Chains A and B, each alone.
Chain A
Amino acid sequence: MTTTPPPPQVVGPAGAGARTGSGDVAATLRATKKRLTSPWATFAAVVLAVLWTIPTFGLLVTSFRPAADINATGWWTVLTSPNFTLENYQTVMAVDSSQSLLPFIINSVVITIPSVVLPIFLATLAAYSFAWMQFRGRDALFVAVFALQVVPIQVTLIPLLSLYADIGVAGTFWAVWISHTMFGLPLAVFLLHNFMREIPGELIEAARVDGAGHVTVFFRLMLPLLKPALAAFGIYQFLWVWNDLLVALTFAGSSNQVAPMTVALFNLTGTRGSQWFLLSAGAFVSIIVPALVFLSLQRYFVRGLLAGSVKG
C-alpha cells in the first residue's frame, strides 16, 4: 500500500492524515463529518452523556448537603427543598481536622511522580533496544517481558512484601515506587516497542549514515517522535498510581508519613462507617488533580490510544 515512505512529521504531533494532498483531506473530512452527523446519533449521544453524568452529578450535589439530609433523603430532593452547606468540604480540607485529606495529597504526589517517571524512563530504553538493536534471544526476551503482564499483582503481594521487609524498605516510599515501576513496565515496554517499530527503518538508516550512534538516534530521533505515546502511557500510569489503594496500603502501610490519599479516603468513613457522608466531598477533593492532568493531556491520550495498534 505504501508507495513512498512518509516524512517523519507524519507520526509527530502535527497530526496524521497528511499522507495525501491537502485538498483531498478537506473533502474527506467533509464527507466524514456528514456521514457521522445524524440528528438521531447526536440525540443518542446526548442522552447517553446525560445518563452517564447523573450519578457524578448526584455525588456532587450530595457533597454540598448537610450530614443529616444525606442520611435521610436522596440528593434529588434538593430540587424541592434546597439546603446546602460547605461543612463537608471544611472537614476534609481543614488544617486542624483529624479527618483532613490535605496531608495525604502531598504523599500521593510524592508517590506518583517517581512511579510515573521511572517506568517511562526504563521502558523507553528497553523498548528501543527491543525494537532497533540486534542481540541474541531478543524475541524470546521480549515475549517473556510481555508475558509478565499476565501475572496478577495480587499473587506478588506477600512475596514482594517479605522481600521488602528483608532489605528494610517496607513501609517507605521506596517500596511503592519500586512496585509501581515493576507493575507498569511490561505494558510500557510493549506499548512503546510497538510504537517504535512503526517508525520507518529508512529514517534510522539515514541517521546512521550521517554518523549517529544509538544514543544520538534515541535522543534526537526517537524521543521527539515518541511524545504522544509517552504522554498516553504517562496519563495511564498516573491515573493508575493516583487511584491505587492496594499497592500503597500493602507496601507502604497506613502511617501518616507515607499513606496516599486513597488510604485516607478509604478511612474517611470512620471505624464503623458513621462518617460516610464525608465520602462525596472527599471524592471530589481527590478528583481535582487527576481531572486537571487528564483534561490538559487528553489530546495526547486519544492519539496515544492508537499507539502500538496495527496501522494500515
Chain B
Amino acid sequence: MRHINRRAGALVAGTVAALALAACSTGEGGTPGGTGTSGGAAGGSVDCADYKQYGDLSGKTITVYAGIVAPEDTPYITSFKPFEECTGAKVDYQADKQFEQQILVRAQAGNTPDIAIVPQPGLLAQLVATGTVVAAPDGVAKNVDEFWDPSWKELGSIDGTFYAAPSGASVKSLVWYSPKQFEDNGYEVPTTLDELKTLTEKIASDGNNKPWCAGIASGEATGWPLTDWMEDFVLRVGGGDVYDQWVKHEIAFNSEVPTEALDMVGEYLKDPANVNGGFGDVSTIATTAFQDGGLPILQNQCSLHRQASFYAANFPEGTNIAEDGDVFAFYLPAKDASTKPVLGAGEFVTAFSDRPEVQALLEFWSTDTWANLKAKASADETNGGWISANKGLDTANLVNPIDKLSAEILLDPASEFRFDGSDQMPAAVGNGAFWREATAWITGQSTTETLDKIEAAWP
C-alpha cells in the first residue's frame, strides 16, 4: 500500500515537473520568436524620425490593461512595436475578459494600470468618478481634433473635460445575408425600411426558410443584441436628436418614439412567420447564443441577421465573407435614402498616470500613424476585424470586405453616427434593466410593460 502510494506521488511530481518544463520552454522560446515576426511585419521599415518628438524613453515601462484578449490582442502588441523600438520604452499589454469589473475594483483600490482601453463611455464616467483618471494631454486633444469627428471627442469627455481618445470602432447597423441565396432567389438588398419589410414578407411567403434568425443569450449580458435592435430603430424612427434625448433621459424611456421603435422591432422578431430560422420558434431567440445567431445563414435556413461588424469573427474558418461570397452584410436601411443614421460602438484610451512616457504613448495612439499600423497588423494577424473612425485611416490597409464596408459607412460624411445608447446609460439601465426587460419582452412581455419597467428602473 505504502509502496503504491509513493509511486503515485512520484507520478504526480513527475507530471507537474514535466508540465512546468514544457511551460518554461514555451515562455523562453516563444517570446523572442514573437518579437522577430512582429518586427518583420510592422517594424521592418521603421523610420524613427517620426518618433523623435516622443523623446528617449529607454528603460520605462507602460502598462496597458484591456478587455481585448487573444487572438485579437496580438495586433495591439504589434502596433506598439515601432514606438518601442524608437523610444526604448516597453509596453506591457495585459488583458482579461473581466476587464469591466476589474478596472473599477483596481481604480477604487488605487491599483491602476497606466493606460486602459475602455469600451463604454458609461464606464469611463464611472472611472472618472473614482478620481484616478488623468485628463488627456494637449497633444492628444490636438490629434483628436484633427482626425476624428467632434462627436467622438465629446464621447471621451466627461463634464467638459476631455479624458479619453477614441481608438477602435465597430458598426452595428448591419444586416448579414447570403449574397448567393439572394441571387438564387432574386432578392434585392433593401435601401429603405419599407423595402426591408417587403423583402421580409417575400422571403416568408416563398417559404424556403424563415427570413430572420437571432440569438440574444450572452451569459449575464443576455439581451444586449435586442438593445441594439431597439437603438437602431429609435434612430430611424425619431432621428439623431430624439435618440440623444432618449439616451440622456430627456424624454421618458416609455415615450412615443421608443414605443413605436420597439413595436417595429417586434414586427420582425416577435412574428412567428419571420423567426427563428434554423432554431425554432420565437422563444428560441432568448436561448440561442448570440455567437450562433447568424450561422444558419450558411445553411440557407435563414436569410437575414442583424448584428455588428465584429460578427464576422463568428463564421467558421474558411467562410468567404465578401460581396460575392458565402455571407456578407448590408447597411440596415433608413426610412428613406435622404438620411443615413449609423449605430456603432468603439473603444476609448484613457490614462491613470501623467508620467511622460504614458503621455507619449497616448499621443502616439491618437495619431493616424498608429491607426494604420494597427489596421495593417490586424490584417496580417487576425484577417482584419478592426477599424477606426480615424479620418487618417487608409482603407487600403483593410483587407477584408466587411471592414472596408464598415469603414466606408463610418467615414461617409453623410452618415449620422450615434454611439451605442445602452453603453452610455447609467449602469442600472444600460447593463441591467434594459437587457433584462428586453429578454422578458422577447419571451412574451408586452412592449408597454417592458418600457414602463425600464423607465421605472432609471436611477
A-to-B contact residues, CB < 8 Å: 67-68, 71-72, 95-96, 98-100, 102-107, 109, 157-159, 161-162, 164-166, 170-171, 249-250, 253-256, 259, 263, 266-276, 288-289, 292-293, 295-297, 299
Contacts and interface: CB of A to CB of B under 8 A. Distances in A.
Interface string B36-80: 000000000000000000000000000101011111111000000
Nearest to B92: A255
Given A158-B108, A270-B69, A254 B30 contact: no
A230 to B, nearest CB: 14
Contact of B106 (A71, A161, A272): A161
A289 B16 contact: yes
B396 interface: no
A96 B11 contact: no
A95 to B, nearest CB: 5
**10 nearest A-B pairs in the assembled complex, by CB-CB distance:** A296-B8, A106-B23, A161-B109, A254-B96, A165-B111, A162-B109, A267-B69, A98-B70, A255-B94, A274-B313
Nearest to A299: B5
Given A103-B23, A273-B291, A289-B19, A263 B33 contact: no
A292 B94 contact: no
Contacts of A263: 96
Contact of A109 (B16, B95, B110, B317): B16
A62 to B, nearest CB: 15
A166 B110 CA distance: 8
Interface string B105-133: 11011110000000000000000000000
8 contacts: A102-B19, A104-B23, A105-B23, A106-B23, A158-B108, A266-B96, A289-B15, A293-B12
A72 B111 contact: no
B291 A105 contact: no
A164 B63 CA distance: 18
A164 B111 contact: yes
Contacts of A161: 105-106, 109, 111
A292 B109 contact: no
B27 A106 contact: yes
A128 B95 CA distance: 44
A69 B195 CA distance: 35
Contacts of B22: 102, 105
B70 A71 contact: no
Nearest to A285: B19
Interface in B386-400: none
B24 A158 contact: no
Contact of A275 (B19, B71, B292, B295): B71
B268 interface: no
Nearest to B292: A71
A103 B97 contact: no
A254 B72 CA distance: 15
Contacts of A296: 5, 8-9, 11-12
A102 B23 contact: yes
A72 B71 CA distance: 22
Given A263-B96, A266-B97, A95 B317 contact: no
Contacts of B338: none
B208 interface: no
B339 interface: no
Contacts of A267: 69-70, 95-97
A171 B29 contact: no
Contacts of A289: 15-16, 19
Contacts of B9: 296
Contacts of A266: 96-98
Interface residues of B, number: 53
A287 B429 CA distance: 39
Contacts of B70: 98-99, 267-268, 270
Interface in B278-327: 289-292, 295, 310, 313-314, 316-317
B26 A102 contact: yes
B143 interface: no
Nearest to B19: A105
Given A71-B292, A71-B316, A293-B12, A158 B26 contact: no
Nearest to B312: A274
Contacts of B110: 162, 165-166
A106 B111 contact: no
A251 to B, nearest CB: 9
Interface in B339-377: none
B96 A273 contact: no
B102 interface: yes
A107 to B, nearest CB: 8
A166 B109 CA distance: 9
Given A106-B20, A266-B98, A275-B71, A292 B27 contact: no
Contact of A274 (B25, B27, B314): B314
A95 B111 contact: no
Nearest to B317: A67
Contact of B291 (A107, A164, A272, A288): A272
Contacts of A68: 316
Contact of B105 (A72, A157, A171, A255): A157
A171 B153 CA distance: 32
Which one of A158, A254, A288 has the highest number of Cβ atoms from chain B below 10 Å of its Cβ? Answer: A254
B295 A71 contact: yes
Contacts of A157: 105, 109
A250 B96 contact: no
Interface in B207-242: 218
A296 B153 CA distance: 60
A159 B26 CA distance: 36
B111 A170 contact: yes
A277 B122 CA distance: 31
A98 B19 contact: no
Given A161-B111, A255-B92, 14 more contacts: A71-B292, A71-B295, A96-B34, A98-B71, A106-B23, A106-B24, A157-B105, A171-B111, A249-B96, A267-B70, A267-B95, A271-B67, A296-B9, A297-B8
Nearest to B72: A271
A166 B11 CA distance: 42
B97 A271 contact: yes
Contacts of B102: 249-250, 253-254
A72 B69 CA distance: 25
A285 B160 CA distance: 50
A270 B313 contact: yes
Contact of A254 (B34, B95, B111, B314): B95
Contact of B74 (A98, A109, A159, A273): A98
A67 B70 CA distance: 17
A195 B455 CA distance: 58
A105 B69 CA distance: 18
Among B9, B23, B110, B310, find the residue whose CB has the most chain A CB atoms closer than 10 A. Answer: B23
Nearest to B99: A254
Nearest to A250: B105
